[in-house]
Structure formats: structure tokens, C-alpha cells
Amino acid sequence: MYACSSTPSAEKEETAPIVGRWKLTSEEKAPSNKSAIYSSKEHSMVVLQLQKNGYFMEYDTILDPEWKKKGLHQIERRSKGQYTYEGNTLTLNHSSNDTAFTEVMTVNKLTETEMTVVFKSKNATVTKTYKK
């Protein structure tokens, strides 16, 4: 006689807090001290979607009903590609029809609802804050 039994695993699949839909809320550039604050009261919102499978998409979501009446798509893609997140480094490997480039960012803050990244552009250090 044989008997089998199995106990269902109570383990939940772990999801890294970096995965999700991140809305850009502010951007600062140093040393010029230029900054911008983004809110849902604006005409559009920039979103960085980081998926569990390592794929990302950055896009604008049109919020203004008047802009929608003018025939603008509700979602306008900016970029897409693959990403990696190791330690506190977020690397976005952008790809499009005619170009590819890599953007390397340091994640200074990451919680379930907020992420702050810093990276260097040609003339400035850029800090972006996102919220879920």
C-alpha cells in the first residue's frame, strides 16, 4: 500500500518593490537648480512601468479631456526595453526602431509607494521622484 500526501505551500511569490507603475512627481537638475513638479492636475503624466519579467515601458498618459478631444492618444509611448535592478542600481536598456541606449540610475530611496533615482546627464545630475 502506498499513501501520498502533500501540504500546499504557504509561500507567496515575492515581488520586488521596484516592480509596478511609477508616476513621475518631481524632477530636479543640479547645478542649475532647475526643477519641475508634476501632478495629476497637469495635462499629462509621465509613467515608468517596470514589469516583473524585466521589461519596462515609459509613456505619457494624457489627462486633459480637451487634449483627448483633439485626437491625442490616451497613452503616448516614450521608450521601452529591458531593465535590471541589482543592489541600488537600476539600468534601463532602451530600444527603439533606430536607436538603443543605456541609462544607469542609482536608487536612493525605494519603498512600496515611493522611489527616488539619481543619474548624470551631459550637464547635470538629475534626481527624479516617482510614486505608485
pLDDT digits (tens, 9 = 90+) for 10-69: 444 445 789 999 999 999 989 887 776 665 566 668 999 999 999 999 998 866 666 566
Domain membership of residue 69 as a residue range? 20-131
Tally of domains within the chain? 1
Residue 10 lies in a domain: no
d(CA 79, CA 92): 10
d(CA 32, CA 106): 20
Residue 2 lies in a domain: no
18: its cell numbers: 521596484
**DSSP label of 13:** P
The CATH code of the domain that includes 66 is: 2.40.128.20
Entry pTM = 0.75
Helix residue ranges, H only, the chain: 65-69
Q: Give one word for 7, left, alpha or beta, with left for phi > 0 and alpha for psi -120 to 50.
A: beta
| DSSP collapsed to 3 states, 75-101 | EEEEEEEEEEEECCEEEEEEECCCCEE
